[in-house]
Amino acid sequence: MSRFTTFFAPAERVAQSVVLRQREALEQSKTTRLVDAVPQLIMVLNAQRQLVYCNLALLQMLNLDSMDAILGKRPGEILSCIHANRLPGGCGTSEFCTKCGAVQAIISSLNGHRDIQECHLLRSVNSRIEALDLSVSATPFPLDSESFTVFCVTDVSHEKRRRALERTFFHDILNHAGGLRGLLGLLAEDAPETMREELNLAHTQFKYLVEEIISQKDLMAAESDELTPHFIQLNGDDVIKVMASTYSSHEAASGKLIRAEPAEGDLSLHTDYNLLCRILGNMLKNALEATSPGEIVSISCKADQDAVVFSVRNPGVMPPDVQLQVFKRSFSTKGKDRGLGTFSMKLFAERYLGGEVSFISQPDRGTIFMVRLPRHAACDLATT
C-alpha cells in the first residue's frame, strides 16, 4: 500500500491487482446483477474506498463503455471533484474533504453503519465548474471476509434549486400581496361611502389571496420536512366560531349558511393555531363547494378524553369511488391541478400536530370530515 499525508480519511490504497481480484469475486457472487438493475448511480467500494464495481447508470453518466478506466479510483476522482487531487492521497484526504458528506457516509459504512448524507459537489468538466447537490447513501456489504461499501448517489440538484426559487417567490409575492392588502384597508377607511363597499370587498379578497399563498407555502415546506409548528394554548370553541365567521364571507359561501354548533366541556388544547386553521379552512371550503344554495354547513368540536375533535359537515354524499381516493395527493373531483386540500389536511394533522384526520359519508348523515388532535402536543409529552 502507498502512504501519503491525509487530513481526514486514510490515504492508503491497494494495488490494481487486488482491485481486479475483488471485482472478480463480486462478479462471481452474482450480486452485480442487482446493482445493474438500480437506476441510481452505484459504486461498490473496497475498504480503501476504491471502486471495484459500478453499475450501468454510472457508466452512462460518464460516457464510458466499460469500468476499466475508473477501477481503483475513489468517488471524488470518478466524479471530477475539484478537491479530489489537492493532495497526492487523492479523494478524502484534503482539508476540504473533512466537510464532504460522501466521505463521511463511506467512513461510517466501513465502520459497520449505514449512513445517508448530503454532498455538495463542485466538479470540473471540460474546464467548466458544475455544482451538484447529491443525496448519498453508504451501506456495509461484507463478502468473503472482506469489507465493501455499496455507495449510492442521487442527484437532487433540481429539487434543491426549486426549493430555493420557491422560498424567494413566496417571500416576494407575500410582501407585495400583504402590502396591497394593507393599502386597500387604509383606502377603505377614508373612502367616500359610495366606494367603501367595493374597497372592503377588494380588501377581503386580498386577505383570502394572502391566506392561500401562505397555505401553499406551508404545504411545500411540510412536504419537504422544513415546517416548524408553533404550539400555543387554544380553546376549540373559540376556534370554530372564528372559522365560521371568517368563511361566511368566502365566495364559496354565497347563498349558504355556516353554523358553529354549540360546544360543551373542556375544549382546551395545545397545538399550532395556523395549521389548525389551514385544516379546518380546507374542510370548510370543500364542504361549501359540495353544498347547494340554501343548505347549511356546520362546524363543531367536542372533548374526547385526552383529545379534542373538530368536525365539518355538509349534507351531500360522496360516491363510493371518490371516497376510496379522498386523501391521495393529486386526486380531485374539481378538475386538473386540484386535489391538495384533503392531502394537506392529513399531512398537517398527522405529521406535525400528532393528530388524525378521517371522514364518513353516508346518506343518513351527509359528509363529515373530522380532525382529532391531542390536548397536549408531542413536544409537551416529551418533556413531562
Cα–Cα–Cα angle for 8, 12, 16, nearest 5°? 140
Three-state DSSP state, 143? strand
- 380 three-class SS: helix
> What pLDDT is stored for residue 165 in this prediction?
59
Closest Cα partner for 152 from 70, 274, 310, 45? 45
**How much is the pLDDT for 129?**
85
Structural domain 16-155, CATH architecture: 2-Layer Sandwich (3.30)
Report pLDDT for 202: 75
**Which residues does residue 334 pair with via DSSP β-bridges, in sequence order?**
none
Q: What predicted TM-score, i.e. pTM, was given to this entire model?
A: 0.56
Which overall architecture, per CATH, does domain 231-383 show?
2-Layer Sandwich (3.30)
Please state the domain extents for the chain.
16-155, 162-223, 231-383
Positive or negative, the CA dihedral 211, 214, 218, 220 is: positive
DSSP 81: B
Rg (CA), the chain: 29
Q: Going along 237-364, which residue ranges are E strands?
A: 257-260, 268-272, 296-304, 307-314, 356-362
Helix spans in 30-156 (H): 32-36, 56-62, 75-78, 101-110
pLDDT of residue 339: 46
Q: What is the pLDDT of residue 382?
A: 42
| Cα torsion through 208, 212, 217, 218, rounded to 10 | 90
Phi/psi at 271 (5° precision): -155, 180
State the burial class of residue 17 (Cβ atoms within 10 Å of its Cβ: 0-12, 13-18, 19+): exposed
DSSP string across 1-62? ------SSS------HHHHHHHHHHHHHHTTHHHHHT-SSEEEEE-TTS-EEEE-HHHHHHH
The mean pLDDT values, 10 residues at a time, for the chain of 384 residues are 81 96 90 85 97 95 94 97 94 94 96 95 86 93 93 85 65 70 75 75 71 75 82 95 90 92 91 93 93 95 94 94 79 53 87 94 95 81 41
| β-strands 41-45, 146-155 pairing | antiparallel
Q: What is the pLDDT of residue 383?
A: 41
pLDDT of residue 104: 97
